[in-house]
Amino acid sequence: MNTSWWTQRAVWLAVLLGLALLNLWARPLLPIDETRYVGVAWEMWLRGDFLVPHMNGVPYSHKPPLLFWLIQLGWSIFGVNEWWPRLLPALFAFASLLLTSAIARRLWPAHDRIAVLAPGILLASLLWLFFSTALMFDILLGFWVLLGIHGLLRMLAGERAGWGWLALSLAAGMLTKGPVILLHVLPLAVLAPWWAGQPPRSGWRSWYLALGGALLLAVATVLAWAIPAAIAGGPVYGHDIFWGQTAGRVAKSFAHRREWWWYLPLLPLMLFPWSLWPNGWRALGEACKHHHEPGVRLLLAWLAPVFVAFSLISGKQAHYLLPLFPAFALLLARGLQAPLPARARSLLLPALMLAVIGGVLLWLPGQAGSGRIPQDVALIPPLAGGSLIGLAIVLVSGSAREPLRQARFLQFAGVGFIVIMLLFVIHPLTRDQNIDVFSHKVAEVAHRHLPLVHVGNYQDQFQFPGRLLKPISTVTPARLARWMIAHPDGYVLIYLRRPDARLTSVAAAHMHFRSKWLLLLRVRDLRGISVHSGTARS
């Protein structure tokens, strides 16, 4: 490995770790997803039960346990803390950059620049970079998808280790987010005769036998956890992990329809700044002209079936597409190897978008509270919009004409955009979402062994910040009055659509929580007031 190889990877690692540290300072664990997942890990830690995840004392079947196991691993080394769970996605994001580079070297050994360009493109893609520091499952899943594809390429080259890497990736992917990894990897493996160019040394029959063997080994590995977990967690949990994570998810998905085209208008935002770069469009077109190349065919076989499948399945979230981003980055990097016109104006569109967003951020605080614009936007400082406009000026004033030089400017712009948003937008807007202080008040009540109830659905948001040792009881609004009669010395956690001065003045704690007001109240302070659909009424 030469010096530039290590330098490039050191830059990737520094960017991701820097962003992870900036996230730790700029924003808290965000309810409900991040606080829920770290809360499940906390309950697993307290119970010493690493077989069945629990949320608020009940077996948690919505996600498999691998992320929670990784959190436990870090806590066993460093002690219980917040920074380790939040660092995990950045570490997997960095490993994904390395695998993207390794895949590029195997697909195009004669084009060294692709192995450097593709990870840089991936690193600067807006949605991928944002989720690289979010405590979610999709960056981890993307890593296992990349590992599986790397395993396929090693199998194609006749390397026996590739079979093991493929089996590991499928098993780990299923333990991360369920069988969805099969959708990402298996169609590509089945289509290998179309994209590979030449058969593996042992022939296609052996290829499919090895593929089936890797799948069986992966399923057996997952069952080694799932069967004991189903027995320990009970029949409902067993039904949920075997049915709910497969056919049940699909059935539920079709019950909450989004149109098939829902992803299409979001793609320009998800792929910013590359989506607004004319030379990027030309590069993608050039890459597709080389559809006879095994590498380009592999990327098309990777992208098309999965994107079509996710478009047809009605349950859609933007982050579901994150495991496809490395394929996009590789395809764009391949196209940039072709001679493209040297036009300085090619950076005008992404620069204009940055300037427009900057202008909106300068205008928005003055409109706080008017119409549907929330009052919180008044917290956004003028430096937010000014910095984005300055970044736009840097982008167009760099005199970059060559496409490869433009790509480097866009990488800088993509990372700079996230940094500016974290410092001057996300930080001021999420300060009120830090539930640590409120959670400590909840913990004080819990540690005094006073009756405590949460009105409505509880998502574990107080368990880890408050280091609660026991679950919180829950009650529906319709049954709250009965609970209050039975527990006159108790405390109630309620949500209001609008602040109520009568209640906030006597509340043990209150905060603005996601579009509502959250209050911790003594039962005696709630007497004479009914709670219905999040609104307090006399």
Please say if the pLDDT value at position 351 is more than 80.
yes
Sequence-ordered list of residues with C-beta below 8 angstroms from that of 525, at least 6 positions apart, any chain? 503, 506, 507
Find out whether 493 and 473 touch, Cβ atoms under 8 Å: no
Can you give the pLDDT at residue 104?
A: 96
Contacts of 89 (CB under 8 A, 6+ apart): 20, 131, 132, 133, 134, 135, 136, 139, 140
- Rounded distance between C-alpha atoms, residue 38 and residue 247, angstroms: 27
pLDDT digits (tens, 9 = 90+) for 499-535: 777 888 888 888 888 778 899 999 988 766 555 544 4
Query: What does the pLDDT look like over 220-248, one tens digit per residue?
Result: 999 999 999 999 999 999 998 888 665 54
Is pTM beyond 0.85? Reply is yes
Beta bridge partners of 531: 536
- Helices and strands: H and E segment counts in the chain: 25, 9
Model pLDDT, residue 403: 85
Per DSSP, the residues of 318-375 read GGGGGGGHHHHHHHHHHHTTS-----GGGGHHHHHHHHHHHHHHHHGGGGTTSTT--G
Closest CA to 352 of 401, 405, 391, 380: 391
Residue type at position 33 = D
In the structure encoding, which two tokens stand for residue 200, read together?
């593996």
Distance between CA atoms of residues 536 and 538, nearest Å? 7
Dihedral angle computed from the Cα positions of residues 50, 56, 62 and 66, in that order, rounded to the nearest 10 degrees: -30
Total count of residues recorded for the chain: 538
pLDDT in tens, 193-211: 999 988 888 899 999 999 9
Domain ranges of the chain: 82-335, 352-432, 436-537
Mean pLDDT of the 291-320 span: 92
What's the confidence (pLDDT) of residue 533? 42
Query: Nearest 5°: phi and psi at 212?
Result: -60, -40
User: pLDDT at residue 100 above 50?
Assistant: yes
d(CA 126, CA 132): 10
Rounded to the nearest angstrom, the gap between the alpha carbon of residue 403 and the centroid of all alpha carbons in its chain is 30
Give the distance from CA 484 to its chain's centroid: 40
The per-residue pLDDT for range 45-84, each reduced to its tens digit, is 999 999 999 999 999 999 999 999 999 999 999 999 999 9
In 3D space, the residue among 411, 398, 346, 330 whose CA is nearest the CA of residue 108 turns out to be 330
Q: Is the pLDDT of residue 25 over 70?
A: yes
